[in-house]
Structure 1
């Protein structure tokens, strides 16, 4: 479910995953995330594409409600765009239709490649606990309910400390964050771990 938005259908999610999995659309979203706004001509120049191609992909991203037109800057044939806040939680793969699952799996594969680059950058740029790049690892024992509570609080912290680009205070920079939680495999301790 997208936060603050109605539940999406399987067909809508499939279209979303395909859109997010398109390499040029991802580059457009990254550019808008960094620079705030652009039109098809600016994107064509910056991304090495034709303005017709970037214009087409901008319209497709707008259909997915990932970006919106900036009416006060747009006029005639010149349309300016900005990205929209977006959050999505992928449903249980067992509940997905085959086409949705395939689109989600392809997008996950692309995200893993991006996250691997981000992970390496974080390690290369780490300058201690007071630097911009932060690398943390932890392990603990949690029940499933505690893990879900932790995830909700993690999202609440992001909402509390994060800012939309237009509201960011002086000195703020875009920061990419990832959080993964995975239980240890069952059977490593001759049975399912139960704590004390």
Structure 2
């Protein structure tokens, strides 16, 4: 599958490194809000500055974060995400185990997002934004190759908006705002032999 977003491609070791709630929270904050310091991040992720700094160095070892080029007095180290996102594809048994571990942490961290949005953001939305917001739950019957094609087509549609970021033509002056698209792709397990389809 192609990588139209410019995401970081995780190795199995990288998947295991990121499958830690604090590291995932740190990376998510950097991706969504831009460069920060360990001290500023620590309050957001519920860890001490020294623990946050240790996790940042661990993420850097796997190419997920890097030093940020920001104007500072040099007394604090600034970090930024190395890419807009990350992706992982298991290629063997070790990669499959690492991918399942990371998937579980991702699901855990995303679990409360819809409830929080409905409680905090939805009541404040204007009608023009509310019309396109909410949950879509569609079941399709496809082969694995067809599903990969659907995912690739969705990514191609979204890629210009993901890559554009805050500096694109869709800036605040154009009335644009951040929109989180949660897309759960949940193939059903194979049916036991002899069970009707």
For this pair of structures, how many residues does the alignment match?
183
Instruction: Give the drift of 1:136.
Output: 0.8
The answer as to whether partners of 1:36 and 1:165 remain within 8 angstroms in 2 is no
Q: Name whichever of 137-146 and 29-38 sits farther off.
A: 137-146
Cross-structure match for 1:90: 89
Distance in 1, matches of 2:153 and 2:160, equals: 10
The answer as to whether partners of 2:42 and 2:52 remain within 8 angstroms in 1 is yes
Cross-structure match for 2:68: 70
Q: SS where residue 138 of structure 2 aligns? A: coil
Cross-structure match for 1:194: none
Distance in 1, matches of 2:160 and 2:194, equals: 38
Distance in 1, matches of 2:2 and 2:63, equals: 11
Q: Structure 1 unaligned segments of length 5 or more: list them.
A: 192-196
Asked whether 1:157 is paired with 2:153, we answer no
Q: SS where residue 164 of structure 1 aligns? A: helix
**Gap change, CA 1:114 and 1:188, over 3 Å in 2:** farther
Q: Compare relative contact order (CA 8 Å, sep 6+) and give the higher one, 1 or 2.
A: 2
**Which of 19, 24, 28 is the matching residue for 1:21?**
19
1:116-131 equivalences under 5 Å are 116-121=111-116, 125=122, 130-131=129-130
**Which of 110, 113, 119 is the matching residue for 1:115?**
110
CA RMSD of aligned residues (A): 3.5
1:1-196 equivalences under 5 Å are 3=3, 13-73=11-71, 76-83=74-81, 84-92=83-91, 95-97=92-94, 100-121=95-116, 125=122, 130-131=129-130, 133-162=133-162, 163-167=164-168, 169-170=171-172, 171-183=176-188, 185-186=190-191, 190=196
TM-score (norm 2): 0.71
**Gap change, CA 1:166 and 1:29, over 3 Å in 2:** farther
